[in-house]
Amino acid sequence: MAESWVDSAEALGSDLHLELTGAGGRRAALMRALRDAIRSGRLAPGTRLPPYRSLAADLGVARNTVADAYAELVAEGWLTARQGSGTRVAPRADPPAARRTGRPAVRTDSARGVNRADGGRETAPRPVHSLLQGRPDAAAFPRTAWLASARRALTAAPSEAFGPGDPHGRPELRRALADYLSRARGVRTAPDRIVICSGFAHALRLLSGTRALRHKAAVEAYGLDFHRSLLAAAGIRTVPLPLDEDGARTEELAARRDLRGVRAVLLTPAHQFPTGGPLHPERRATAVDWARAGGGLIVEDDYDGEFRYDRRPVGAVQGLDPDRVLYVGSVSKSLSPALRLGWMVLPDALVDEVLAAKGEREGWASALDQLTLADFLESGGYDRHVRRMRRRYRRRRDQLVAALAERAPHIRVSGIAAGLHAVLALPPGTERSTVRAAASHGLALDGLAGYRHPDATGPAHDGLVVGYATPPDHAFAKALDALCRALPPGENPR
């Protein structure tokens, strides 16, 4: 029987799980099992079935039993058989019924371009275009260069790289990052102070288990609610710092009564997310002075640090004081969020704590991806890709600005000196209706209100967060057209 299974696997190359139950003999049971698998959708139309000999060996039945069952199901229309193509599940006029989820099934009314639930109520159409922030152009991933780095990395990898992971991260990647971050971002570090993670959210989870973040932390008044939720789940209260055109008002760290006891502040100094703009040099220095005076910590999210268009990239705050600034970066914007690769550059005093929080086994970042990224950095592939994408995203930004100047000159756009998104200021009270109008035009985008800290003081501003990196090149013009059609009209001149 063992030999039959080996032969079957070699001939088939894939497995098919069927349970033969019920009365009527093995052939009838096999036919029932195949009909049920097709009817339920588990075997989709076009799926190639195993050859007679392979399936017979797997199921422990005679070869003629399988052949007869296939032949009868072909005659009934469940299967098709063609010379050279094998036996396949036949196309069916009606797809299997959707699984019940407790929600009404949704179907598309192609004549009107809207979706309708079973009750006939119109809902917003599924997005055709996306201008959501935080997503690079997936089609621009450097597949050829990445594959070349992967081949080189696998060829040179030591055997121990294929064993259990090290929570510190691969030494090859930590060395490459120390060189790159020093050269490109002004970070002062050594490989031993770098811990590999899967991105900023993972870094927050790890830091929440250390003394770096305790009970209360200051954050920018606008930012990702997801990050605030992670901290809240760890029992850490977040206190918002107001923002203006110079970034977070870090002078309030030492002045405000409700910020007493805060020993950590989370900042996006290279390009404030989502409002845009770098943190002013004086406010950078003020934050560092605050951390030094009170034993505090700055957690620097180097969001979009590599994508500046109007001048040289702003260096990392970490370079001002490596013992008081914890630097976090990732490839989610520069390469792809699918890689799940990020890094923390830690003060010496926190390295052991973070490694203890992470645990003995690396469960997040693939060692093979780490090795590939190390080669990609050292070979210059990463620099070339970033420069190429910087040019592409700048063209996207310029297209967005030009379209708004032509079709919506009353809309002010900001945050365009860097990053992958811009903020469009809207007339008061129009944000929700504009987001709904965009959805009606098949466009997905975010309003600014969703990023505002619930405890933030001062006036809230209506606006849109427009991610111009997401659409592929061929769809970008149509996405901009949908955006311009959704924007509120300007005042008519008198």
For residue 212, give both structure tokens.
């770096």
**Maximum Cα–Cα distance across the chain:** 90
Question: DSSP string spanning 219-271?
Answer: EESBS-HHHHHHHHHTT-EEEEEPEETTEE-GGGGTT-GGGTT--EEEE--SS
What is the helix, strand, coil percentage profile of the chain, to 5? 45, 15, 40
**pLDDT value at residue 122:** 44
For residue 454, give both structure tokens.
């619930």
- pTM passes above 0.85: no
Coil, strand or helix at 356 = helix
Block mean pLDDT (10 aa), the chain, length 494: 37 67 84 88 87 86 89 86 83 51 38 37 66 88 96 95 88 96 93 94 90 87 91 91 92 86 91 88 95 93 83 82 95 92 95 89 80 97 94 94 95 90 94 94 92 89 92 90 92 47
**pLDDT value at residue 458:** 81
C-alpha–C-alpha distance, residues 345 and 347, integer Å: 7
**pLDDT value at residue 52:** 84
**pLDDT value at residue 311:** 67
Type of residue found at 121: R
C-alpha–C-alpha distance, residues 151 and 160, integer Å: 17
Contact 227, 266 (CB under 8 A): yes
Query: Which residue segments constitute the domains of the chain, with CATH numbers given?
Result: 2-89 (1.10.10.10), 130-138+384-486 (3.90.1150.10), 142-379 (3.40.640.10)
Contact 195, 358 (CB under 8 A): yes
**pLDDT value at residue 371:** 97
For residue 251, give both structure tokens.
């002078």
Half-sphere exposure of 425 (CA within 13 A, CB side): 12
CA angle 46-50-56, nearest 5°? 145
Type of residue found at 108: T
Q: How many CB atoms lie within 10 A of CB 23?
A: 7
**pLDDT value at residue 481:** 95
Question: How far is the first Cα of the chain from the last one, in angstroms, to the nearest whole number?
Answer: 90
